[in-house]
Structure 1
Amino acid sequence: MILGIDLGTTHSAVGVVDSGFPILLADEDGKRIIPSAVWFGKNGEIEVGRKALRRRAVDPSRVVTSVKRWMGTEETTDVALGNVGRSPEEVSSKILKELKRIAEWRIGAEVEKAVITVPAYFNDAQRAATKKAGELAGLDVVRMINEPTAAALSYGLDKMKERSRVAVYDLGGGTFDLTVLEIEDGVFQVLSTHGDTRLGGDDVDRMISAWMRDGLGEISHDVAVKFTEEAERAKRVLSSEDEVTIRIPFYDGFSSFEKTLSRGMLDTMVKEWISKSIKCCRQAMLDSGLGVEDLDSVVLVGGSTRMPAVRDAVAEFFKKEVDVTQHPDEAIALGATIQGGVMSGAMSKMVLLDVTPLSLGLETFGGLMNVIIPRNTTIPCKAGEMFTNAADGQEKMSVRVLQGEREMAKDNWELGKFELEMEKLPKGQARVGVQFKIDADGILEVLAREISTGKDVIVHIQSSAVNVDDAAVEEMVSSSVEHAFEDMSERIFTEAKMKADELLPAVEMILAQGLVENEERAEIESSVKEVKLAIADHSANSLKAATQRLDSATEAAAARLVEKAMEEALAKQLGI
């Protein structure tokens, strides 16, 4: 038996397949959804879920929520026992352990394996951190599945024989994803995905709370927690009511707060927040190669999609009525449960073809980004390329693994780096093969092999991009579009300059050896001058054209140089 777990920012859930049907399991209170909250007591006590939230009223500084946004970073939470901070993985492991306990209590047997959902736009470090959290909870994480894909599995369960193109808009408490899929004959193929791992309902709570506190001056952390709790309640009420009265009696022991918030005011407040998600939708549709008219349905999941303003904006962008048939809080967990059932053999076979959200590659000579696996490539997958030594007698090759969408290495994120020893050979004669392999969970393995010696280096990237702000993922893709012409110009200049740096010394040698005919010299010298001027001006197209002109101008002289070298070698061999 394999559990299906939705490890959410705000809420989490667990399910299993029973008698061929996926079901979510309820706790002792009969609730299938538990808050993703953990309380760490001063004496080592730990409580999870609703019990932890109840502690927030009297001990707010020791209750951790929304830890998912910090997965894959080196940050610790505000909770500390003595001087020991709690890592995001440790906090998440407590939530997973509680879900495991609920499942085993309901099933009446021990369960060790689980499928866990992650945002589609989680990078390698965030996925590895989620897997680690599962292991800390005593679970063997047999698969991690992207949340919108899980929602699509839930949505498509009764559409196994139909061909459908579906966009899943998943806006939860802390993260957002838009995934475009094609469903046909039990095959779920992801066509594209785009999102923001720092965009969710928590942002709305903070906006409402800031509006509430406007003019109140500085307040304590404990009071701020009370305002955030009331802001969350107001947000929920406004999903079905036109206005809400917000009251916090004696919030600081003396003063009380009361204010009315209308849905129209909230809609104005969140307009820019919603537009960020629509921007991701636009990019995902471009990447899929489809138009909105090609979609059969747009499925909404995630608690934040209950907001009328969100539903209206999504319907307007996709030019169709949105599908709200899936339970916003349960669809993802149900999809994970289905995937667990497929893997355990408890359900009929389905094929899930997911994609990697960002390009992966290497830094090459000149500081260029050489893409090995492009973004939106179906996973699991592997791809490789052959490289050579950049200098005579090079002893080592530094392999720097990158993730991102920019042309230059410096503009992308470093996932890791290592060195590979090489046989000392003349420039361009050593051969190094590098292979990238991404497993079904989206975790990267890099293999580098020096061909002449057969020596291998295998690196599992387990802590990539640990210091990258997750919100920068969206910025990375946006920047790649915004700076596309500049980046390509910089790449053209760099490649042309590398060629010029090789060509200029060779031309000087040809000129010095007197292998240039008089009628050729003027053209060659003029071309050399153009190349140097283009380098000084940092002009990409001019340098490329000048380098090509110089290459053509020296072709005849270069041929004579080769001929002379062959004659000298033959003479030496014959002893002449």
Structure 2
Amino acid sequence: MTKETELRHRGWHSPMARDSSVGPQRTGQPLTLNAPFDDEVVQNDMKLFPYNIVNKDGKPYIKIEKDGESKFFSPEEISAMVLTKMKETAEAYLGKKIKDAVVTAPAYFNDAQRQATKDAGVIAGLNVVRIINEPTAAAIAYGLDKKGEEKNILVFDLGGGTLDVSVLAIDNSVFKVLATNGDTHLGGLDFDQRLMDYFIKMINKKHGKDISKDSGALGKLRKECERAKRVLSNQHQVRVEIESLFDGVDFSELLSRACFEELNSDLFKKTMALVKKALEDAGLEKHEIDEIVLVGGSTRIPKVQQLLKEFFDGKEPSKGVNPDEAVAHGAAIQGSVLSGEGGKDTKGIGTYVNSMFCFLSS
């Protein structure tokens, strides 16, 4: 079996996450795999979904209405649809049929959730040859499995919607998860929302217009707030500009990095509290952490990097791997080993919310 690889970052895959007309509610939130309908997490998340979730045989299903007909899809079926499209895209690119895949899953996934992830692959026509933990894959991407000596690694994964903090121990290339912690509702979307709330209040004060129920205006504002957030990772200020935001009124305001940090200060502090809790659960002091690995696009935010460095008394996180691609990169390396190549050249990656797939062509 040979393997060709290409890293592709996908981020949030819900069509509604890409639909700028969706209102102020949180979009793109994934539905938990293999969880009962009455699960506390599912019930809480349902309040945030812009789509209909119903109880079918004790499990949550997504209800779609089209042409007067109702259709119901399980989370596994939705995952499989995305994987099928990814598989087709990879096959078109490689010019080969794909049968096998390496999958990554969050370290906190239980056996049932891992099986559900495998089932999604099977529905998509894939043989899932290996499931590895996402923090382990990230550590592999940084080459930490090749250094030989015993190490303690903290993986800080801050993405679009979730924060996962994992503490790993590695000895002779064998990884052990010592602790996991995090928040499934803390990430880039929340930082965007703080900016939106700030500008909604500003617009109301300056123009006497409440746009909080105007889906068109909110869509434009959400898109511009996300852009501004990204720019502020490299610049100290950015102009937020929206042509004809409402009633033909153009919107233009300067936003500073300091203002962005102040608006999100409690959320940034919360990330460090979760790091502290993960260390406590692992039974380690912060000076016992040998490597800090960053995963997820939101780790590019300077304030996040600053707080991590201060927490670990000046220790710098590992650099050199795109944080958006770290887990995918690690999955690809694992795939190349399983396919017999053993090298670090990586192609053929697809990602979907909680899961990452490295496709292996025969």
Partner of 1:181: 168
Structure 1, 281-290 or 152-161: larger mean CA deviation: 152-161
TM-superposed deviation, 1:123? 5.1
2:200 maps to amino acid: R
CA drift of 1:292 comes to 1.3
Q: Please give the alpha-carbon distance, in whole angstroms, between the structure 1 residues aligned to 2:113 and 2:200.
A: 33
1:306-321 equivalent positions in 2, closer than 5 A: 306-319=300-313, 320-321=315-316
1:249–1:257 Cα contact (<8 Å) kept: yes
Change (3 A) 1:66 1:39: closer
Q: Distance in 1 between matches of 2:222 and 2:290?
A: 38
- The alpha-carbon distance between structure 1 residues 312 and 231, as it changes in their structure 2 partners (threshold 3 A), is same
Q: Give the counterpart of 2:326 among 328, 331, 339.
A: 331
- State the distance in 1 between where 2:12 and 2:27 align: 6
Counterpart for residue 78 of structure 1:
51
Q: Of the candidates 290, 308, 325, which is equivalent to residue 296 of structure 1?
A: 290
After superposition, residues 511-526 of structure 1 pair within 5 angstroms as none
CA distance in 1, matches of 2:32, 2:255: 31
TM-score (norm 2): 0.75
Do the aligned residues in 2 keep the contact of 1:244 with 1:260 (CA within 8 Å)? yes
Counterpart of 1:93 in 2: which secondary structure? helix
- 1:33 aligned partner: 9
**Structure whose CA Rg is larger:** 1
Q: Mapping of 1:215-230 within 5 angstroms?
A: 215=204, 216-217=209-210, 218-230=212-224
- Asked if 1:255 corresponds to 2:253, the answer is no
Match of 1:99 in 2: 86
Aligned to 1:66: 28
Q: Which amino acid aligns with 1:78?
A: Y
Q: CA 1:106/1:213 → structure 2, altered by over 3 Å: closer, same or farther?
A: same
Which residue is equivalent to 2:58?
none
SS at match of 1:300: strand
Q: 1:95-494 alignment to 2 at 5 Å?
A: 95-122=82-109, 126-156=113-143, 159-214=146-201, 215=204, 216-217=209-210, 218-252=212-246, 254-319=248-313, 320-347=315-342
CA distance in 2, matches of 1:226, 1:123: 39
**Counterpart Cα distance in 1 of 2:267 and 2:113:** 23
1:225-250, CA deviations, whole angstroms, 9 ceiling, x for partnerless residues?
A: 22211111111000011111111211
Change (3 A) 1:232 1:122: farther
- Structure 1 residue matching 2:244: 3-state secondary structure: coil
**Alpha carbons of 1:210 and 1:119: their partners in 2 closer, same or farther (altered >3 Å)?**
farther
Please state how far the C-alpha of 1:132 moved relative to its aligned partner: 3.8
Residue identity opposite 2:9 in structure 1: I
**Contact 1:38/1:94 (8 A) holds in 2:** no
Three-state SS of the structure 1 residue aligned to 2:245 is coil
Kept in 2, the 8 Å contact 1:156–1:183? The answer is no
RMSD: 3.0
Which secondary structure state, in structure 2, belongs to the residue aligned with residue 34 of structure 1? coil
Taking structure 1 as the reference length, the TM-score comes to 0.49
Structure 1 residues 149 and 35, CA, compared in 2 at 3 Å: closer, same or farther? closer
Structure 2 counterpart SS, 1:281: helix
Separation of aligned partners in 2, 1:230 and 1:192: 37
Distance in 2 (CA, whole Å) between partners of 1:224 and 1:122 is 35
**1:169-212, CA deviations, whole angstroms, 9 ceiling, x for partnerless residues?**
11111121122222332222222222222221111111111212
| Structure 1 spans left out of the alignment, 5+ residues | 2-15, 26-31, 41-51, 349-440, 442-576
Distance in 1 of aligned mates of 2:126 and 2:305: 37
Task: Work out the percentage of aligned pairs sharing the same amino acid.
Answer: 41
1:24 has 2:11 as partner: no
- C-alpha deviation, 1:329, in angstroms: 0.7
2:320 is aligned with what amino acid?
T
Instruction: Tell me, yes or no, if the aligned pair for 1:24 and 1:333 is still in contact at 8 Å.
Output: no
Cα deviation, residue 313, structure 1 = 0.8
Q: SS of 2:101's equivalent?
A: strand
Distance 1:340 1:313 in 2: 34
Deviation at 1:332, TM superposition (A): 0.5
Structure 1 pair 127/102, CA: closer, same or farther in 2 (3 Å)? same
Structure with the bigger RCO (C-alpha within 8 Å, sep 6+) is 2
